Chain A
Amino acid sequence: MSLGLVGATIRRDLTLAARNPGEWLNPLMFFLMVAALFPLAVDPDPKFLSKIAGGVIWVAALLATLLSLDALYKADVEDGSLEQWLASGESLYAMSLGKALVHWCISGLPLTLMAPLLGLMLSLPADAYQALIFSLLVGTPVLSLLGAVGAALTAGVRSGGLLLSLLILPLYIPVLIFAASAVYHAGIGMDYKGQIGFLGALLALAACLTPFASAAALKLNLSR
Chain B
Amino acid sequence: MPASSGQTTIDLEARQLFCERDDRVLFDHLDLRVRNGDLLQLAGPNGAGKTTLLRLLSGLNRDFDGELLWHGEALYDDYSGYASLRLYQGHLAAVKKALTPLENLSWLVSQWSVAEDDLWQALDAVELGGYEETPCQQLSAGQQRRVALARLCVAPAPLWILDEPFTALDKYGVTWLEQQLQKKVESGGAVIITSHHALENIASLQQLELGSVRA
Contacts and interface: CB of A to CB of B under 8 A. Distances in A.
A79 B91 CA distance: 9
A46 B171 CA distance: 72
A87 interface: yes
Contacts of B111: 1, 4-5, 88-90
A75 B62 CA distance: 24
Given A5-B110, A9-B107, A79 B95 contact: yes
Contact of B110 (A4, A86, A87, A222): A4
Interface stretch (A15-23, A118-126, A155-163): A15-23
B96 A81 contact: yes
B110 A83 contact: no
Contact of A84 (B61, B91, B99, B108): B108
Contacts of B58: 87
A222 B96 contact: no
Given A20-B98, A87-B58, A223-B63, A8 B93 contact: no
Contact of A87 (B63, B88, B93, B103): B88
Interface string A20-41: 1000000000000000000000
Contacts of B63: 223
A66 B46 CA distance: 40
Contacts of B88: 83-84, 87
Given A9-B107, A16-B99, A223-B63, A84 B83 contact: no
Interface string A67-90: 000000001001111011011111
B60 A87 contact: yes
A81 B58 CA distance: 15
Given A16-B98, A80-B91, A80-B94, A4 B61 contact: no
Contacts of B106: 8
Contacts of B110: 4-5, 7-9
A12 interface: yes
B103 A12 contact: yes
Contacts of B9: none
Contacts of A75: 96
A154 B94 CA distance: 19
Contacts of B113: 1, 4
Given A20-B98, A87-B58, A89-B83, A1 B112 contact: yes
Residue from the set B60, B84, B90, B99 with the largest chain A CB neighbour count within 10 Å: B60
Which 5 pairs show the lowest CB-CB distances between chains A and B? A80-B92, A89-B83, A8-B110, A89-B80, A80-B94
Interface of B: 58-63, 79-84, 88, 90-96, 98-99, 103, 106-108, 110-113, 135
Interface of A: 1, 4-5, 7-9, 12, 15-16, 19-20, 75, 78-81, 83-84, 86-90, 222-224
Given A15-B103, A87-B90, A89-B111, 19 more contacts: A8-B107, A8-B110, A12-B107, A15-B98, A15-B99, A16-B96, A19-B99, A20-B98, A80-B91, A80-B92, A80-B93, A81-B94, A83-B60, A84-B88, A87-B58, A89-B83, A89-B84, A223-B62, A224-B61
13 contacts: A4-B110, A12-B99, A12-B103, A16-B96, A20-B98, A75-B96, A83-B92, A84-B88, A84-B108, A87-B58, A87-B88, A89-B59, A90-B83
